[in-house]
Amino acid sequence: MEFDLIIRNGVIANASDVITGQEVGVKNGKITCIGFGLPASDSTSVIDAEGGFITPGGLDSHVHLQQWNTPTGDTWETGSRSAVCGGTTTVIAFASQNKQHQSVLPVVNDYAALAKDNSSCDYALHLIMTNPTPTIVNEELPFLVKEHGITSVKLYMTYDAMKLRDREILDIMVATRRLGMTTMIHAENHDMIELIIETLEARGQTDPYYHSVARPQLAEAEATYRAIALSEMMDTPILLVHVSSEAAAKHIRDAQTRLLPIYGETCPQYLYLLSERLKGENFEGAKCVCSPPLREKPEDLDHMWTAIANGTFTTFSSDHAASKFNIEGGKRLGLVNGRPFFKKIPNGLPGLETRLPLLYKGVQEGRITINDYVRVACSNPAKLYGLHTKGAIMPGYDADFTIWYPEGKMKPFELTNDMLHHDIDYSPFEGMTFTNWPRWTILRGKVVWERDEGGFVAKRGGAWGEYVKRGSSTLRGSRNVFVNEWRPPI
C-alpha cells in the first residue's frame, strides 16, 4: 500500500485507548492504516513524532466568528488561522438570527458566505434562533437539516435581544425531537439578572467586577434545571453550553444518572480564571467579561476539572467570542462617557488558539487523562454534532491530527499575545507558563501548522478548509420515555 504521509514514533491517543509502537498511514486525506513498520515510498512524507502524543485534530464546537454582536472580533480568516495554530482542525460556529428576521434561510446563506474560501480549517454551522416563527420551526428547520446539514440549534434563556420564553423553547423542541437535532441552551435566569443589574446601576456599581455579581451561580443553576425539565418533558436531547458552576454541573450529572439525554460543555476560562480578574486597574477587568461570568473561588475551578474527568462534561469548547480591548480612535467598548459600564462590555473572550494547550496542561498536571482530553475536545463533539468522519484516529476517518512534543523537549515559555495568530489585542491567558503546545497540526493529510519550521503554513495552499454537512448525533437521544401519559406532537 502507498501512503502520502506516515507519522512514526508517536503515541496514538483516542478517547478509548492509547496505542504505542504503531504508525499512522494516510492516503488522499484519510487515515488508511494503523500498523507496524509502514513502508514509505519516494513520494511519502514522513513525520517523526519522537514519542509525543498524536491526538485527533481538535474540534471546537462553540465558536463565534463575524457574528453581528462581535464587530471588532476575528474574521474567518484570522479566527481559523488561530484555530489551526492551536491544534484545532474543525470549528462549528454560529449563524445567528435577529428577532427581526422572519426567515432564517438568508441568515444561514449570509453566514456561510463569510466563511467560504476564507477558512483554514474545516467548518460547520449551528443556528441561533431568537424568533421561532411557525414557518421557521416547521418548514425551514427540516430544510436546513436536509440540505445544509445543520443539525443543531442554540437557544438563549437570557439577554433581551435573544431570550426565548419556556413555551418557545418547548415548541422548538417538538421540531428538534422530530428532526433528531441537538439543542444547545444558554441557561441563566434572565429576570434574576435583570433585577440585580438595575439595582447595581442605581447604586453606581458599574465597574467590570459587578458583571460577576449580576450573574450569580444560582441564576445559572436555576435555568439549567429548568432546561433539563423542559428536555425531560419533551424527551429531547440538550447540551448546556459554557457551564461554569458546580451547582449547574450537579443538575446535569443527576439527569445523566437517570439516563436522560442531557449533555454539558465547559470552557478554558472556567478551568483557570477567577472573578478577581474583573477587578484589574484601568478597565483591565473588561478583558475577562464573559457569560456566565468567572466564578469566585479556586474550588470552583477544581469542580470543573472534576466534571471533565468524571464524564459530566461531554464537550470542551473555547466559546471564542472575541472583541478588541483597544479599538480604533482610542475607544474602548464598555466605557460610557469615560466611565465603565459593565452592561455595555461585549460578553466573551478570545480562546480558539489556547483551548487545546490549556486542556493538555491538565493532562500534564494529572487532573485528567489523555483519553479524557480526546473525549471532550475531539470525539464527543464529533459524535454529538454528527461529524462522522472526525474525532478519532481510525482507518476511514479524516487524517486530522494534533501532534504534541514529547515531554521534556520543549523549553517552558510564558505566553504573550504576539505568539498568537488571532486578530485580538490581548489574551486572558497571557503570562501563563506552558511546557507543551501543538507541534504540528494536520488537516486531511496536509500540514497546516509546524511550530518549529514554517509556522502557519496553510496559507501556502490557500484557505482550503471545507464546509462539512453534518448528520445526527450518535450519542443517546430521544428515548420514548415520558413524564406521564402525555406525548409530544409527532
Q: Looking at residue 146, what DSSP letter applies? A: I
Site string for ligand DUC, 22-61 (x = CB under 6 A): ----------------------------------------
Burial 44-65 (b: 16+ CB within 10 A, else e): beebebeebbbbbbbbbbbbbb
Report the distance separating Cα 316 and Cα 312, nearest Å. Answer: 11
CB of 375 to ligand DUC, least distance (A): 22
Q: Map the footprint of ligand DUC across residues 303-342, applying CB under 6 A.
A: 319, 321
Q: In terms of CB distance, is 159 or 456 closer to Zn ion?
A: 159
Q: Which residues bind Zn ion (CB under 5 A)?
A: 160, 186, 194, 319
160 binds, among ligand DUC, Zn ion, none (CB under 5 to 8 A by kind): Zn ion
Distance CA 230, CA 488 (A): 12
**Interacting partner of 194 out of Zn ion, ligand DUC, none (Cβ under 5 to 8 A depending on kind):** Zn ion
Nearer Cβ to Zn ion (89/291): 291
Q: Residue 129: which of ligand DUC, Zn ion, none does it interact with, CB under 5 to 8 A by kind?
A: none
What is the β-pairing status of strands 401-404 and 30-35? unpaired
Grid cell 461570568 — which residue?
Answer: 293
User: 23 near 35, Cβ under 8 Å?
Assistant: yes
Are 348 and 290 in contact by the 8 Å Cβ rule? The answer is: yes
User: Which 343-362 positions form the footprint of ligand DUC (CB under 6 A)?
Assistant: 347-348
In whole angstroms, the minimum distance from the beta carbon of 210 to Zn ion comes to 17
As a whole number of Å, the CA-based R_g of the chain is 22
Q: Considering beta carbons, is residue 90 or 291 the nearer one to ligand DUC?
A: 291
Q: Nearer Cβ to ligand DUC, position 107 or 289? A: 289
Q: 439: part of which helix (H) or strand (E)?
A: strand 438-443
> Residue 444 interacts with ligand DUC (CB under 6 A)?
no
In 3D space, the residue among 301, 252, 248 whose CA is nearest the CA of residue 273 turns out to be 301
Site string for ligand DUC, 241-280 (x = CB under 6 A): xx--------------------------------------
Interface residue with ligand DUC among 212, 245, 291, 317 (CB under 6 A) is: 291
Give CA–CA dist 98/102, Å, rounded: 9
- Least distance to Zn ion, CB of residue 282, Å: 27
Residues 85-114, interacting with ligand DUC (CB under 6 A): none
Q: Which does 347 bind (CB under 5 to 8 A by kind): ligand DUC, Zn ion, none?
A: ligand DUC
Residue nearest to Zn ion (CB): 186
Cβ atoms 234, 174 nearer than 8 A: yes
Contacting residue, 126, 163, 186, 324, with ligand DUC by CB under 6 A: 186
Residue (127 or 370) nearer to ligand DUC, CB: 127
Q: In angstroms, give the least distance from the CB of 377 to ligand DUC.
A: 18
CB of 318 to ligand DUC, least distance (A): 10
Identify the residue whose cell numbers are 490557500: 462
CB 297 within 8 A of CB 380: no
**In the window 113-132, what residues touch ligand DUC (CB under 6 A)?**
none
Could you tell me how many residues make up the chain?
A: 490
- Cβ-based nearer residue to ligand DUC, 342 or 434: 342
Contact of 178 with 478, CB cutoff 8 Å: no
Cell 504508525 locates to 23
CB 128 within 8 Å of CB 153: yes
CA distance 238 to 231: 7
| 321/387 with CB nearer ligand DUC | 321
Asked if 20 and 42 count as a contact pair (C-beta separation under 8 A), the reply is: no
Residue type (1 letter), 485: E
Q: Which three cell numbers stand for residue 224?
A: 439549567
Q: Which does 318 bind (CB under 5 to 8 A by kind): ligand DUC, Zn ion, none?
A: none
Q: Kindly state the smallest distance separating residue 460's Cβ from ligand DUC, in Å.
A: 33
Strand order in the sheet with 455-456: 18-19, 11-13, 53-56, 401-404, 438-443, 446-450, 455-456
The distance of closest approach from Cβ of residue 347 to Zn ion in the complex, given in angstroms and rounded to an integer, is: 8
C-beta neighbour count of 282 within 10 angstroms? 7
- In whole angstroms, the minimum distance from the beta carbon of 102 to ligand DUC comes to 24
* CB nearer to ligand DUC: pick between 64 and 277: 64
Residue ranges in contact with ligand DUC by CB under 6 A: 64, 186, 241-242, 291, 319, 321, 347-348
